[in-house]
A and B are shown apart, each in its own frame.
Chain A
């Protein structure tokens, strides 16, 4: 036997009944911690060993409630506050539609609390340095034997006395497990290898990223779906006797909740007056509408987005150029309503007040992007 002291003494038992019979006797005789190792859970053994009730149920309940609140409030905030999106005529805080996602988030929080909480917090796994993992007893336990370990913990253990005690209680064999050797310092070779591996993977990742950023923006867009035969709006079709593919709307009707926009040409739109005041709250609203809908093509700064030009050949207007500084609000409003060139109409997406607010915000961008020395506060 080596000089190191014993970590635990393990007795191997043939059946769960023998193990259960042995526990009370050993428990009465030693003050050290008792632990049983079994191939599957044994009913009632936790009471014999004096283990307290598992707190996992409470943890799961708390985290499940947190998950429900987090899920629902995130949906309410995104859909009602940060990005108020009107769909299907539903109110912004249409909580009924948020229930499915809230439920899934609740389940996600609760299950991962149960699983990872059990593993990491309660069982302290993964743990590869436990002395039991190097014992001869464990392979027997994971097969079909039952082990009872008297663990030294902080105190001292008399291996021979405990071994004798275990044998008298019915253990078929006994193994003394030594205290693990203190962990040595990590070798310089390990550090060198780890550092080299890290450096090589950084270089590789960098090269891949460089290649990807160079390649993806210039990939031609997929136009396969545009090329195939299909019925486009305004196209002829032999199905109807008048030869048109589309049907006209029912005469003298308008879409529910819409105000007809009757101006046909941008030239006549110049006289429209922006009804929104230039207040701070309107400008905030305008920035939000601009960021949500316009910035993806015209750029966050309003100067057009070159990446779109590269990929699609489309050239969004530079809203901060002199041409647009001189353009009246009404003519910009007309383009939002009716679209221009490659730009479709945004009338269905942006509500009336937000259209005008966004135009105010474009004026802010124009001023900021063409700032003069006088604009700097003294």
Chain B
């Protein structure tokens, strides 16, 4: 049963089919600990403090803007009929999407036994948690009175009413909160052996206490590993279905409504692909910074970055197909409203947003066909930033362009975000990167236990392969 972690024997494979090494140089299991865990114990470099100052300032701006919104109501934002969903929902969909890459790397690639995932799984799982936290803020403040947000959940009440389970909005509440709890559990279970490692390495008393409590007394017993591995694999399998369902449900918020531009069957796969696309771009961006500043070049190799860039390229092509299909649906439907809405995307008031989306999501990622772009920081960062911008604008196009011209021409309305909208968006980036920076200081950014598993000679019957 322990074949779940088996390193595929590759010696019998022809040269072209062998996977390139996922590590550079000779690394001992203890060396992984020394290299990764040392960052937790050392004083952070000056660059970290500068970055932290910037991100927490952005976070504070966001908090101030949220405070202002709560004080005067969401009329402080630019959205109004017919564009009732604007920045809040754009940012929500954007951040939920960012989270999907983490679960894909940690769960789906685990099932596919992609060994390269081990080095980046911890970091991208953490990004999932933080991204879903950022996402959760937006529906919460969009309800206007967040202290009444418990109305969203089914609870027995005096009025004898229950949520409408036929509404995609309640599906969304259930899906996103399930996603957050399951991701947190999955992340924590993966972290537990590493926390035990930290507990046994740390010197100061407070840290020792904190890591001891968090490690739950994990002692690496074989009888524990046996259940642990099984449970981890099962959760990975379930998380795979979950991650596909979550962004599908988010897309139902649009697709189940009868609005032209939203009511399309392509939406669930299109949203899931877009989510993985945006998420991988964010992982590449953050990983490049972590890899170079924390000197992890031997564990996160150029091969890792190249594979991720290939995923981005694949997703970009799939997105291109989805965009074409949107146009095809508009034409094939022979529905003048759908046709009108589609023309709004490419030739309407917000055509600049539509063309930004197409340029950033479809055209620029094609640069990744070149090996240079896949392997050099400048190239991949350029593409990743473009994809992040493009994916944000894609949601802007879907939401604002589709809504601003209602069925009733007298209600047509040009949407303009206010400074509060921009401030909260900035604040969400601040929150995300503040959490990422804190995470990089207090927890291992690489799953050391999983890394030790893929080292040569880590399993008994592979003795003698690799460096031994």
Q: Footprint of B on A, CB under 8 Å?
A: 15-17, 20, 35-46, 49, 51, 53-54, 56-57, 60, 74-75, 78-79, 82-83, 85, 87-88, 90, 94, 97-98, 100-101, 103-105, 107-108, 110-112, 114-115, 117-119, 122-123, 125-130, 132-133, 138-139, 141-144, 216, 222-228, 230-231, 237, 239-240, 245-247, 288, 291-292, 295-296, 300
Contacts and interface: CB of A to CB of B under 8 A. Distances in A.
Contact of A143 (B30, B161, B213): B30
B74 A224 contact: yes
A252 B326 CA distance: 37
A222 B220 contact: no
Contacts of B242: 104, 107, 111
Nearest to B256: A97
A286 to B, nearest CB: 13
B235 A37 contact: no
Given A36-B221, A101-B171, A118-B227, A295 B159 contact: yes
Interface residues of B, number: 88
B165 A79 contact: yes
Contacts, number: 267
Contact of A300 (B158, B174, B409): B158
Contact of B166 (A94, A108, A224): A94
A225 B409 contact: no
B460 A225 contact: no
A112 B450 CA distance: 22
B220 A56 contact: no
A115 B235 contact: yes
A46 B226 contact: yes
B160 A143 contact: no
Contact of A54 (B161, B174, B227): B227
Interface string B102-127: 00000000000000000000000000
- Chain A CB count within 10 A is highest, among B81, B217, B252, for B217
A97 B227 contact: no
Contact of B238 (A40, A82, A110, A230): A110
Contacts of A107: 178, 182, 238-239, 241-242, 245
Contacts of A60: 234, 238
B216 interface: yes
Interface stretch (B56-64, B193-201, B282-290): B193-201
B461 interface: yes
Nearest to A229: B80
B346 interface: no
A128 B208 CA distance: 13
Nearest to B452: A40
A239 B72 contact: no
Nearest to A48: B222
B175 A78 contact: no
B154 interface: yes
A247 B408 contact: yes
A37 B221 contact: yes
A34 B452 CA distance: 24
B246 to A, nearest CB: 8
Nearest to A135: B219
Contacts of B301: none
Q: Is chain B's binding surface mostly helix, strand, loop or mixed?
A: helix
A225 B223 contact: no
A114 B181 CA distance: 13
A127 B217 contact: yes
28 contacts: A36-B222, A39-B452, A41-B5, A42-B225, A44-B461, A46-B2, A46-B223, A56-B230, A79-B166, A94-B166, A97-B165, A100-B168, A103-B241, A105-B178, A111-B186, A112-B181, A125-B218, A128-B217, A130-B217, A138-B200, A141-B219, A142-B201, A144-B28, A222-B144, A224-B76, A225-B74, A231-B81, A246-B410
B225 A111 contact: no
Given A42-B222, A45-B222, A128-B212, A291 B460 contact: no
Contacts of B199: 142
A97 B166 contact: yes
Contacts of B411: 231, 245
B327 interface: no
Contacts of A123: 223-224, 227-228
Contacts of B216: 119, 125-127
Contacts of B364: none
A147 B196 CA distance: 16
Contacts of A78: 154, 162-163, 165
B452 A41 contact: no
A226 B222 CA distance: 65
Given A41-B2, A111-B235, A142 B196 contact: yes
B447 to A, nearest CB: 10
Interface in B359-399: none
B453 interface: yes
B185 interface: yes
Interface string B141-157: 00011010000001000
Interface string B165-193: 11110110011001001100110010001
A97 B28 CA distance: 53
Contact of B75 (A74, A122, A227): A227
A143 B224 contact: no
Q: Which 4 A-B pairs have the closest CB atoms?
A: A222-B73, A224-B75, A144-B29, A118-B231
B182 A108 contact: yes
Contact of A38 (B165, B225, B234): B225
B245 A104 contact: yes
A223 B162 contact: no
A216 B145 CA distance: 11
Contacts of B220: 37-39, 138, 141-142
Contacts of B409: 239
A41 B219 contact: no
B314 interface: no
B185 to A, nearest CB: 5
A56 B225 CA distance: 12
Nearest to A23: B222
Given A37-B219, A130-B219, A111 B158 contact: no
B189 A115 contact: yes
